Amino acid sequence: MWSGDEDIPLYLRVGHGNEVDSAMFGTLMADFHKQWQIDALLVADAVLYTEDNLQMIVSFR
């Protein structure tokens, strides 16, 4: 994940090649949120939109 200003990297996690993106995406966002307690707009592709992931990000509020 990176900032919108100058594309400065804020968070990186190298995953295993066998991980399913939709299973890990919510966890990645939760880890980022724990480390960076900022009001941010998070943009994602369709992989984010699973019931488990959406429930996880609702808890960020």
Distance CA 59, CA 54 (A): 9
Distance CA 27, CA 36 (A): 14
Per-residue pLDDT of 18-57, as tens digits, reads 888 888 888 888 888 888 877 777 788 888 889 988 888 7
4: tokens are 């919108």
Domain span holding position 2: 1-61
Please, how many CA atoms are within 13 Å of residue 8, restricted to the half-sphere of its CB?
4
Distance CA 21, CA 46 (A): 10
Please report which helix (H) or strand (E) contains residue 24, including its range: helix 21-35
| pTM over 0.85, yes/no | no
Q: Number of structural domains, the chain?
A: 1
DSSP state of 9: B
